[in-house]
Amino acid sequence: MSEYKKFNIKDFPKLLKQSFSQWNKHDPWRMSAIVAYYALLSLPALMVIVVNTVGAIWGKDIVEGRLTSQISSALGADAAEYIREIITQTQTGGNSFVASAIGIGVLIFGATGVFFHLKISMNEIWEIKLIKELSFKRILLDRLISLGFVLVLGFLLLISFLLTAILSFFSDFIKTILPDFVVYVAYVFDIILSFGVISMLFALIFMYLPDAKIKWKTVTMGAVLTAFLFVIAKYLLGYYFSIAEPGSTYGAAGSVILVLLWVYYSCLIFFFGANFTRVFSIQYGEGIIPNENYSRVRKKDVFIDQISRSTDADSLDRE
């Protein structure tokens, strides 16, 4: 077994520089716009499935309220109300069995769309191409994997809601007998909890969504960095949207534009994390190995894999 170069914190600025170079090379602006478009189309189905999945345990009204509260803090009250109306209108009943079955199929197909196109974008970033036409069975499996990520998202939200509720209960109890600083400690724990949930989601996406094999060590580093940038951007975007109100220019369509902008900016961060994960895997591991029916876009990548562990990391910039 070959030994790989060990990560040194002093190499981190260089890794960020390489990641930015790779990120810029892969045209993240175009890919983010594509994913944002499909995210908007998938939003009604995605929200309905998540609300119903988590709501079956937690309560639909509670889950819907918490989601709209989170969305309101990030995008504003108008966008939150717009999404709440989407959930309400989509869940209206009274249809026949056939209509309901068709509706469920459309919901599932729509909800998986954003993850399916996220997968395509990650394959492009990791420079993986299809070399053999996929069978219908494989295409169906890809959709099922995307559906799995929708359910995982709901499961992680459930865990987050549950732990936050427990933390809130204990903080309310403790602050009656201990000093006020305990409340701030509980708030910090809540932030750490949210950060952990987001990191886990990114790690699962990096690990299982693209058509490639990658080590957990690499995935963990990439997911933590992506989550860190995502959390910072969440507060910055919330502040920007509250001050600049970019959706106000579009009138009635303002809420839609805010959702598109938020997903667009979030995807830019996500794709940077994906590029960092690729760079890190080449520098400190065996790289990214394409799955069956896929290969690297260029043979030059093999050369990079061989030399990157023993030469200056700037080799990536000279591709």
Domain ranges across the chain? 15-318
**Does residue 123 register a pLDDT over 80?**
yes
pLDDT digit string (tens) for 217-262? 889 999 999 999 988 888 888 777 777 676 666 666 677 788 888 8
Q: What count of other Cβ atoms lies within 10 Å of the Cβ of residue 239?
A: 10
CA atoms within 13 A on the CB side of 17: 12
Top-confidence residue, 160 or 193: 193
How far, in Å, are 36, 100, 219 from residue 129 at the CA level?
Answer: 22, 38, 21
Averaged pLDDT of the chain: 75
The per-residue pLDDT for 268 is 93
Top-confidence residue, 238 or 161: 238
**Does residue 139 register a pLDDT over 90?**
no
Measured CA to CA, the distance from residue 103 to residue 115 in angstroms comes to 20
| Rounded percentage of the chain residues whose pLDDT exceeds 70 | 67
Q: Using 50, 70 and 90 to split pLDDT, how confident is the model at 1?
A: very low
Write down the pTM of the prediction.
0.78
pLDDT digit string (tens) for 15-52? 999 999 999 999 999 999 988 888 887 777 777 777 77
The per-residue pLDDT for 20 is 94
Q: Using 50, 70 and 90 to split pLDDT, how confident is the model at 304?
A: very low
The per-residue pLDDT for 16 is 93
The per-residue pLDDT for 103 is 59
